[in-house]
Amino acid sequence: MAAPWMKTIEACGLDAEALRALVQDEMAQASVLRLRGVTPPGEPLPFWRSVGEVLGPSCDVVEDSVTGQPKVVPGAWMDVRFEPDRPDTYRHHKVGQPLHSDGAYSPADYADQIALFYLERQARTGGESLFVDAATVAERARAQDPALHAALTTLPVQFGKVGAGRTTPILSTRNGRLKINWNYFRVLPGQGEAVDRLREAFRRFLEDMIEDGAVTCFRLEARDVVFFRDDEVLHGRRDFQAEQSGERLLWKTYFLPPAQTAAHRSRTAAAA
């Protein structure tokens, strides 16, 4: 029997050493690991960053909230914070966010990054997280629309943002694991009618999956954390109610497998 792609564990009472061992063990197989009930002894962000580094070095390159340009901030996390005056970006808005990969347009050297979400503050209502793994997407597409499945697995698509980019089929296999790479808004224009058709067809397909309850939906609570392999799942969120700045606040950071450390150091130096 295949191991479950997502696991939720009540980790109350575990110290940092025990959590590092747990995360390393579970993420060897799972694509998503949700941990609940942990109360860090000090500041939560440095604590969880140190736990996550059992998976590989942490990434110090973050996106500027205004320009979208990469910048180096050692030890930094990116905030996904509701801001009432920023309806221009999902990162700061309260509308639902479509299923996507965070690093869809990142260079291939970053393809295996593992993300960590830490929820500091949840909205009064709404804001449920959505996750679906590559295998579930592939199986549904194969069964319901073989032509779509063929395009997802064979047609190269170029994704890009602010100078960074990657070209890959949306579904592929790497190192024996099924991978998925997708962001509707980062599919670059001018790639021909086949890519245009695929872009719209896959958007509708994923919307139908959400409508049909074919994706995993759960509501994070304050202090919950989620580790996930960004190249093996898509994630999104439902809309939420908020009026004041920071009413919903999630922090995220990323870890790279040791094999990608050299490439990361080179890009970090270039972005500095």
CATH number at residue 234: 3.60.130.10
Eight-state DSSP code of residue 95: S
Q: What residues contact residue 192 under an 8 Å CB cut-off, 6+ apart?
A: none
Give the count of domains, the chain.
1
Q: Give yes or no for a contact between 59 and 253, defined as CB atoms under 8 angstroms apart.
A: yes
Is 127 part of any domain? yes
* Least confident span in 94-98, 103-107, 122-126, 146-150: 103-107
Q: What pLDDT is stored for residue 259 in this prediction? A: 62
Is 253 part of any domain? yes
Measured between alpha carbons, how far is 30 from 248 in angstroms, rounded to an integer?
Answer: 27
Report the DSSP pairing between strands 32-36 and 6-10.
parallel
Is 126 part of any domain? yes
Is 114 part of any domain? yes
Q: What is the mean pLDDT of residues 232-244?
A: 97
Backbone phi, psi, residue 29, to 5°: -120, -45
Q: What pLDDT is stored for residue 261 in this prediction? A: 55
Is 121 part of any domain? yes
Pick from 111, 268, 134: nearest CA to 206: 134
**Dihedral angle sign, alpha carbons of residues 226, 227, 230, 231:** negative
Report the DSSP pairing between strands 233-237 and 97-100.
antiparallel
Write out the residue range of the structural domain in which residue 225 sits: 6-271
Judged by DSSP in three states, 258 sits in helix
Q: What is the mean pLDDT of residues 200-212?
A: 98
Pick from 35, 42, 218: nearest CA to 117: 35
What is each CA distance from 240 to 95, 156, 222, 247, in whole angstroms?
Answer: 7, 35, 15, 10
Q: What pLDDT is stored for residue 109 in this prediction? A: 80
> What is the average pLDDT score of the chain?
91
Work out the number of other CB atoms within 10 angstroms of the CB of residue 255: 22
pTM: 0.91
Q: Exposure string (b/e) for 143-157, b if CB count within 10 Å is 16 or more? A: eeeeebbebbbebeb
Judged by DSSP in three states, 47 sits in helix
**Dihedral angle sign, alpha carbons of residues 229, 230, 236, 242:** positive
Is 1 part of any domain? no
Q: Give yes or no for a contact between 27 and 56, defined as CB atoms under 8 angstroms apart.
A: no
Q: What pLDDT is stored for residue 255 in this prediction? A: 94
Q: What pLDDT is stored for residue 72 in this prediction? A: 78
* Least confident span in 35-44, 100-109, 139-148, 190-199: 100-109
Q: What is the pLDDT of residues 156-188, one digit of tens each?
A: 999 998 767 899 999 999 989 999 999 999 999
